[in-house]
């Protein structure tokens, strides 16, 4: 015990890591595990990005505010990149394309050359020469007379929704205001507290700076994962503190009231402290971190461990005058051990399930329970001596309840009511809605959600969570697969199924395509007497000017490689899509914008092309596990029943199980009527009910010779558990709230049914 404490203090506490991301609880996607690290990296990178829109009445004011904002962010050193002013040196940006222009054609031009439709190319060149539209091309007439390079550059321009180039910034004009776009990437894991503590205050300071930069009113809208993560962990911290405090005070008061002395309370706290410390240490040693959910369930240890303490001390009421701690052990020991065993079986099953989070929870609770039980059975006999008479409050309550139960008779009316209730529950079960959607499990503060919607509204496109993952045996194989995909995506864009897409192959075509382009240019454009010579002569260029350009084309005979492209300024916007070498294969991502037709996208999947939809995948996983665990729950009830039957015989065993089962079903029925959705976390709570409910049954059955103490013990246990979970039902986080509500109803009903069930048994025995 002390050793564990020592380990905790020295190794765990300094490096304690608490994880608040619910996605970290879930197992990884099953298929293609090799690419998962690359996908994780891509998702992680997306999570590090933020979008800010700084708006004011005029572009000048908005620019001032944006400049102040950006400078403050840069000064904080918490960001790897802060972009708001465009690097408008076009030549520098496209230098790499110019160096290999003999190999680069836009898809439309490639097709036109292949089909021999040179007429339109000639007209295009003439229009550029003779009308002002020629001024609008990136490259002038002398640099690109036929416009092939200009058209390629047009094809590679990334469209950022509604944002347009205004001077040297990207801006959106809406509702009479101009918003300047600031794109940032923060440094470090957005879900780690250390990162949040650097980034969030920097953003707050930047907002202040922006508001004060100009007299005009400034509106700022932000989008980015880190703000939601920070809000979630802040709220979790607050709740753990608030709930923990209230729970502790309530439990303390209750115990004082019943036992009248501080010793049970102090010993109970000691046990709890040791149990939680041990649990935290073991989990941290095994997993390297502790998830918030494990801590939340850990707070349920307050209920279970205190249960054992209470049971031990309630035994005192059996014989108040001659009670010694040592004498209690043979009376309550077996019951406690049996209770522990059944609860452990329940958690043991969770360990076997490949959800890393559930394993944590199971390990945490199992360790805590074992240590707690150990304390009760070994420490208490030594430390728990109490002098004096215990207060009358406890026995009075116990006797009152025992009396009420004695007067309870199963009259016909009561049976009819019970039947009616059973039917109502059945109907409720039928109305129960299953809610596996992972988005419903986390809820951000309304201010953040409003700003996200505002950003989406202003930019005209949201951050789509679906994207294509293209893989292959070599970089070129990947590019070729991607080109086939983008051809199909072009069709979807024309049909309106998607608004846009971003792919690496737009900027760096596959070598196969590049060589084809080069051949087309050599044969149909630059060959003597071909297109180039015709147009240039028409325009009036001297033969040596034509020859010079032809020689330049012939001299530039190397295609553009992926590495060249990645290292250049041209790939800035799309570089992150190239995942490169992942294990033994290569992969790249094609992101989508404005998705309107999902089945059309799914239809494009092929051997090396997968549509990744994280949200749907996770929802699918939650759904599958919920299904599996429902059956597991039934199985565990069966196993527990078997063990109890071995100890107590079939009739009693059923009587001990029935309250839990009935409570579970009734709770679900009530949820059906109230419209509370059923999800994996509700199920998780029901696992807990399994353990606690059976404990009540066992304690009542075991203590049937001393009814009053047994009843008091069970009632007290139920109260402490309810205090612990009643508060969870008030949490702002939906998945924690589900757990709280479930336990609130289920524990109350378990207690009620356990009492009603044991009453009958007692009658038989007299």
Partner 1 sequence: MTLRRVIPWVVSLFVLPCAFAAPATDPFAHPVTDAAQLRATLSRPAAKLATAQVLKGQFRHSRHLSEISRPLIATGEFIVVRDLGVYWHTQQPFDSVALLSEAGIAQSDGGGSAMRVSADEQPAVRVIAKIFMALVTLDVASLGRDFDLFSDTDAGKRDGSWIIGLKPRAKAIAGVFTQATVSGSDDVEQVVLTDTRGDRTVIDFSAITYSSDPPGAEVRALFAPLRP
Residue 88 binding partner 1, by CB under 8 A: yes
In 133-246, at which residue ranges do the beta strands (DSSP E only) sit?
Answer: 164-166, 169-174, 177-186, 219-224
What's the sign of the alpha-carbon dihedral 112, 118, 119, 122? positive
Q: Nearest-CA neighbor of 357 among 743, 686, 625?
A: 625
- SS3 for 574? coil
Q: Which of 16, 44, 95, 165 binds partner 1 (CB under 8 A)?
A: 165
Residue 496 binding partner 1, by CB under 8 A: no
Residue 541 binding partner 1, by CB under 8 A: yes
* Cβ proximity to partner 1, 59 vs 492, nearer residue: 59
Distance in angstroms (rounded) separating the CA atoms of residues 695 and 336: 8
The H or E element spanning position 586 is strand 585-593
Establish how many alpha carbons lie within 13 A of residue 409's alpha carbon, considering only the half-sphere containing its beta carbon.
Answer: 4
Distance in angstroms (rounded) separating the CA atoms of residues 525 and 518: 10
* Six token digits for residue 367: 């360790």
How buried is residue 653: exposed, middle or buried, by Cβ count under 10 Å (0-12/13-18/19+)? buried
Binding mask 295-334 for partner 1 (x = CB under 8 A): ----------------------------------------
Residue 90 binding partner 1, by CB under 8 A: yes
The interface region with partner 1, picked from 10-18, 121-129, 196-204, 554-562 by CB under 8 A, is 121-129
Report the nearest approach of partner 1 to the CB of residue 131 (Å): 5
Report the nearest approach of partner 1 to the CB of residue 452 (Å): 23
Token pair 């010793």: residue: 263
Token pair 């028409």: residue: 538
* Cβ proximity to partner 1, 151 vs 652, nearer residue: 151
Binding mask 520-539 for partner 1 (x = CB under 8 A): -------------------x
Report the nearest approach of partner 1 to the CB of residue 214 (Å): 17
Q: Which of 168, 241, 242, 602 binds partner 1 (CB under 8 A)?
A: 168
CA 585 to each of CA 67, 471, 608, 705: distance values in angstroms, whole numbers, following the listed order: 43, 7, 11, 70
The partner residues of 466 in beta bridges, in order of sequence, read: 613
Q: Are 579 and 588 in contact (CB under 8 A)?
A: yes
Report the nearest approach of partner 1 to the CB of residue 184 (Å): 22
Report the nearest approach of partner 1 to the CB of residue 166 (Å): 8
* Six token digits for residue 164: 């347009």
The H or E element spanning position 357 is helix 356-374
Which residues, numbered 125-144, are part of the site for partner 1 (CB under 8 A)? 126-127, 129-138, 140-143
Distance in angstroms (rounded) separating the CA atoms of residues 510 and 503: 12
Report the nearest approach of partner 1 to the CB of residue 180 (Å): 14
Residue 553 binding partner 1, by CB under 8 A: no
The partner residues of 179 in beta bridges, in order of sequence, read: 55, 172
DSSP at 591:
E
* Six token digits for residue 739: 């757990």
Q: Are 660 and 697 in contact (CB under 8 A)?
A: yes
* Cβ proximity to partner 1, 167 vs 403, nearer residue: 167
Report the nearest approach of partner 1 to the CB of residue 599 (Å): 27
- SS3 for 143? coil
Report the nearest approach of partner 1 to the CB of residue 368 (Å): 59
Report the nearest approach of partner 1 to the CB of residue 299 (Å): 53
The interface region with partner 1, picked from 86-94, 597-605, 635-643, 670-678 by CB under 8 A, is 86-94
Report the nearest approach of partner 1 to the CB of residue 545 (Å): 5
Residue 183 binding partner 1, by CB under 8 A: no
By CB under 8 A, how many residues form the interface with partner 1? 33
Q: Which of 6, 11, 30, 167 binds partner 1 (CB under 8 A)?
A: 167
* Cβ proximity to partner 1, 137 vs 630, nearer residue: 137
Residue 540 binding partner 1, by CB under 8 A: yes
Residue 92 binding partner 1, by CB under 8 A: no
Residues within the interface to partner 1 (CB under 8 A): 86, 88-90, 123, 126-127, 129-138, 140-143, 154, 157, 159, 164-165, 167-168, 539-542, 545
């Amino acid at each position: 015990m002390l050793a564990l404490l020592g380990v905790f203090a020295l190794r765990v506490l300094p490096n304690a890591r608490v994880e608040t991301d619910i996605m970290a609880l879930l197992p990884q996607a099953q298929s293609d595990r090799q690419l998962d690290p690359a996908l994780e990296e891509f998702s992680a990178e997306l999570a590090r990005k933020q979008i800010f829109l700084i708006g004011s009445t005029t572009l000048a004011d908005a620019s001032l505010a944006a400049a102040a904002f950006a400078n403050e962010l840069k000064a904080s050193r918490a960001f790897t990149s802060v972009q708001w002013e465009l690097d408008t040196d076009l030549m520098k940006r496209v230098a790499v394309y110019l160096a290999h222009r003999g190999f680069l054609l836009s898809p439309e031009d490639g097709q036109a050359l292949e089909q021999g439709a040179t007429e339109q190319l000639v007209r295009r060149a003439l229009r550029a020469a003779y009308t002002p539209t020629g001024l609008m091309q990136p490259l002038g007439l002398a640099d690109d007379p036929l416009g092939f390079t200009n058209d390629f550059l047009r094809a590679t321009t990334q469209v950022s929704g509604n944002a347009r180039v205004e001077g040297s910034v990207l801006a959106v004009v809406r509702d009479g205001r101009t918003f300047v776009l600031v794109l940032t990437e923060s440094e470090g894991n957005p879900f780690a507290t250390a990162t949040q503590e650097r980034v969030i205050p920097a953003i707050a300071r930047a907002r202040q700076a922006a508001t004060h930069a100009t007299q005009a009113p400034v509106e700022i809208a932000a989008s980015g994962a880190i703000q939601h993560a920070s809000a979630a962990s802040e709220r979790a911290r607050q709740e753990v503190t608030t709930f923990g405090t209230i729970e502790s005070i309530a439990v303390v008061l209750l115990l004082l009231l019943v036992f009248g002395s501080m010793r049970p309370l102090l010993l109970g706290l000691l046990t709890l402290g040791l149990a939680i410390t041990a649990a935290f240490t073991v989990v941290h040693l095994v997993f390297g971190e502790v998830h918030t959910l494990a801590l939340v369930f850990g707070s349920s240890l307050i209920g279970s461990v205190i249960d054992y303490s209470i049971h031990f001390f309630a035994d005192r009421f059996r014989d108040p005058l001659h009670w010694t701690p040592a004498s209690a052990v043979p009376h309550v020991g077996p019951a406690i051990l049996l209770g522990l065993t059944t609860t452990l079986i329940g958690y043991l099953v969770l360990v076997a399930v490949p959800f890393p989070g559930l394993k944590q929870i199971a390990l945490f609770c199992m360790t805590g329970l074992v240590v707690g039980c150990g304390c009760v059975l070994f420490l208490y006999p030594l430390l728990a001596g109490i002098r004096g008479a215990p207060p009358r409050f406890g026995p009075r309550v116990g006797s009152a309840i025992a009396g009420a139960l004695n007067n309870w008779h199963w009259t016909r009316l009561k049976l009819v009511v019970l039947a009616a209730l059973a039917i109502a529950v059945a109907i409720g079960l039928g109305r129960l809605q299953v809610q596996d959607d992972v988005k419903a499990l986390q809820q951000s503060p309304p201010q953040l959600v409003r700003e996200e919607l505002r950003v989406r509204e202003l930019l005209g496109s949201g951050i789509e969570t679906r994207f294509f993952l293209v893989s292959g045996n070599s970089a070129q194989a990947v590019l070729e697969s991607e080109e086939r995909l983008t051809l199909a995506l072009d069709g979807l864009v024309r049909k309106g199924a998607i608004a846009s897409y971003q792919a690496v192959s737009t900027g760096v075509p596959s070598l196969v395509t590049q060589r084809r382009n080069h051949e087309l240019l050599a044969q149909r454009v630059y060959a003597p007497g071909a297109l180039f010579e015709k147009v240039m002569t028409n325009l009036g260029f001297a033969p040596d000017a034509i020859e010079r350009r032809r020689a330049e084309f012939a001299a530039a005979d190397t295609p553009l490689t992926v590495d060249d492209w990645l290292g250049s300024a041209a790939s800035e916007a799309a570089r992150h899509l190239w995942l490169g070498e992942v294990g033994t294969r290569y992969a790249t991502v094609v992101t989508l914008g404005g998705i309107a037709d999902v089945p059309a996208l799914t239809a494009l999947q092929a051997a090396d092309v997968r549509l990744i939809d994280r949200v749907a995948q996770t929802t699918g996983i939650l759904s599958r596990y919920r299904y599996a665990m429902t059956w597991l729950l039934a199985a565990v009830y069966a196993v527990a029943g078997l063990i109890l039957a071995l100890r107590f015989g079939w009739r009693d065993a059923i009587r001990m199980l029935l309250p839990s089962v009935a409570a579970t079903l009734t709770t679900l029925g009530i949820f059906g009527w109230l419209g509370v959705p059923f999800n994996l976390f509700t199920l998780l709570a029901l696992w807990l009910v399994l353990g606690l409910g059976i404990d009540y049954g066992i304690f009542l059955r075991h203590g049937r010779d001393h009814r009053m103490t047994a009843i008091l013990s069970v009632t007290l246990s139920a109260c402490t558990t309810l205090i612990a979970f009643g508060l969870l039902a008030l949490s702002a986080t939906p998945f924690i709230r589900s757990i709280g509500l479930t336990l609130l109803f289920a524990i109350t009903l378990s207690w009620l049914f356990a009492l009603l069930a044991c009453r009958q048994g007692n009658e038989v025995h007299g």
